[in-house]
Amino acid sequence: MFVSKKKKIRGWKRHVRKIEKWKQQVIDLDIEHLYQYQRDYAKLWIHPFYAIPRRNPPVWYNRLLLESMLDVYLSWNEKLTKIDEDFYLKLWIYDPHFINSQVVAAYKDCLHFYDQSFDVGNQEKQFPFHMYTYLIEKLEIFDWHQHIDCAIYTESDLIDDIQRGWMSENEFKAIKEKAYKVETIHLSDGNIDKTYSVQVGEVWVGSIKK
């Protein structure tokens, strides 16, 4: 999914301008869209980072992205507090896969739609403020909770990959050993499969302090 960021990226001034363009496109929460679908989100659709394959920008660029995400969150929060409804509004900050980060909102029938999006991580761990030093004052007005960014593999897919020569037995074994959670699932055809959840990073879920 991700490729090395060592490959040369040119035109950084142009890529920085894309951040402001992204912010202006999403900062005004579309209330009509929210009324209709009862949830909305703003992903970092910024090329060449949010692409196939995906790649992470350097840390200095992520700081600029986060600064804009905070502005978007505060703008959305201002609008949502006026609708007199309970709502879900969170920042999802991925580490190290920052480009997957997003602002997420929901209410009414979708109020709890995102409650089980991530497995809970180490709640005693502190948000990595040191990575975003000049944003600390803004970041400290949020409650941050660590969750797990994971890749989920089904045993049937892994076996199929081995049979096709796309994966070795040792790679399959390594995934099973790394999995922090193994679950048995019952399929609609009556068969049974297994899923292996492997942690690939963290997701910091943040919301403004009440």
Q: Minimal CA–CA distance to 85: which of 108, 105, 104, 103?
A: 108
Place of tokens 């579309």: 30
- In tens, the pLDDT along 128-175 reads 999 999 999 999 999 999 999 999 999 999 999 999 999 999 999 999
- In tens, the pLDDT along 24-51 reads 999 999 999 999 999 999 999 998 888 8
**Identity (one letter) of the amino acid at 66?**
L
Neighbours of 15 (CB within 10 A): 17
**Contact criterion met (CB below 8 Å) for 152 and 146:** no
SS3 147: strand
The β-bridge partners of 197 are 152, 181
Per-residue confidence (pLDDT) for residue 5, from 0 to 100: 45
Per-residue confidence (pLDDT) for residue 7, from 0 to 100: 55
CA dist 167 and 158 (Å) reads 8
CA dist 134 and 63 (Å) reads 9
- In tens, the pLDDT along 73-126 reads 999 999 999 998 999 999 999 999 999 999 999 999 999 999 999 999 988 899
Model confidence at 4: pLDDT above 50: no
Sequence ranges of the domains in the chain? 2-117, 152-195
**Contact criterion met (CB below 8 Å) for 47 and 22:** no
pTM over 0.75: yes
CA dist 90 and 69 (Å) reads 11
Helix (H), strand (E) at residue 184 = strand 181-186
Model confidence at 20: pLDDT above 60: yes
**Contact criterion met (CB below 8 Å) for 70 and 18:** no
Model confidence at 8: pLDDT above 80: no
Residue, of 14 and 71, whose pLDDT is higher:
71
